[in-house]
Chain A
Amino acid sequence: MRTLTLILDDELPIVNMLSRVCEQEGHQVRPFMRASEALQCLAEEPVDLLITDMCMPESDGVTVTKEAWRLRPDLYVLIITGHAGMFPVEHLLAGGHADIMFKPFRLNEFRARLDLARRRRDLIARLTAETRALHQISHDRIQELQRELEGR
């Protein structure tokens, strides 16, 4: 299944460049320049990855990320920033579902971070699936034993 990626930046050339690379990497892209529209999309579509700029006129990346995590606590976020000291970036990293990329960046770094995002999401998905499967197997066995106990 293709990764559904939401891109948010107030500069059109940046949005276009990020979108182009994501599409080349096989993502399905939803590009936005307004935070409110991006959040609307997040509420409506099963977005896998959010790529957001930090410094935007309408809203900042901290607010967008916090709101995105309120809607989708397991969403993986790639934060792009040029002003690390100005934003409480550390607080955005609390969940572990995030990465950060500092401006100016090169395309090979962006590609590496997209690759990392996929690997990290796959790891979390695998661990979640393993726990779920273990729960199901245990649950089935317990039910089976209980039926036996009740039948006697």
Chain B
Amino acid sequence: MGASVVPCSMFQVHVPGSRSRSTHWCVTFKVSAQVPIGRTHMRTLILDDEEPIVHMLALVCEKQGHTVMPFTDSTDALIRLASAPIDLLITDMHMPGPDGVAVIKEARRLQPDLFTLIITGHTGSYPIAELMADGTADIMFKPFHMNELRARLALAERRRTLIAGMNAEKAALHAVSKEMILGLQQELQARKRG
């Protein structure tokens, strides 16, 4: 049996028979652009200094299947952020104490790939572009409709699944390649000894 390596998204390796056996790996990877629609268990931290807003946001998130951590005080929210990872941060910008900018910066320092939904008014002078990071952020302007909130939650879930899928593909490719290379190296060493 001859050796062959097929490029593209599939590795196919046939090691020439040695010691009466051949080794064969065949791995395929594919990232689907279509992520299934369904409720996910997002751990969502909600921060707004107005309690009725927090209550309303929490209600909608819970209906979407999120596990919600509601806060009206940004210092308390920062303490929670430091204690365990979350999946989504929904935060207002204008608050007493540390504002939305400070909270997002600290949250990103703790979790660089954290998804955020920034809620802001049109008149604010916050450095929004700076907070958009590498595409893991979204923004919602006040006043907003419930339909918009639901759509943005759905979008955050899809994007998170998409990015997680791509990262998982990369990690799996790395693991399998490493194993294949190690297998071939061992085979080569065994032959050198034999």
Contacts and interface: CB of A to CB of B under 8 A. Distances in A.
Query: Is B truly associated with A?
Result: yes
Interface of A: 69, 73-74, 84-85, 89-91, 93-100, 102, 106, 108-109, 112, 115-116, 119-124, 127-128, 130-131, 134-135, 137-139, 141-143, 145-150, 152
A119 B135 contact: yes
A127 B167 contact: yes
Does more than half of chain A's interface fall in helix, strand or loop, or is it mixed? helix
Given A134-B177, A142-B5, A142-B177, A149 B191 contact: yes
B158 interface: yes
B129 A115 contact: yes
Contacts, number: 143
Contacts of B152: 100
B177 A112 contact: no
Interface residues of B, number: 55
Contacts of B129: 112, 115
Given A84-B145, A94-B34, A102-B147, A139 B5 contact: yes
A98 B155 CA distance: 8
Nearest to B180: A142
Given A84-B147, A142-B11, A149 B187 contact: yes
A5 to B, nearest CB: 17
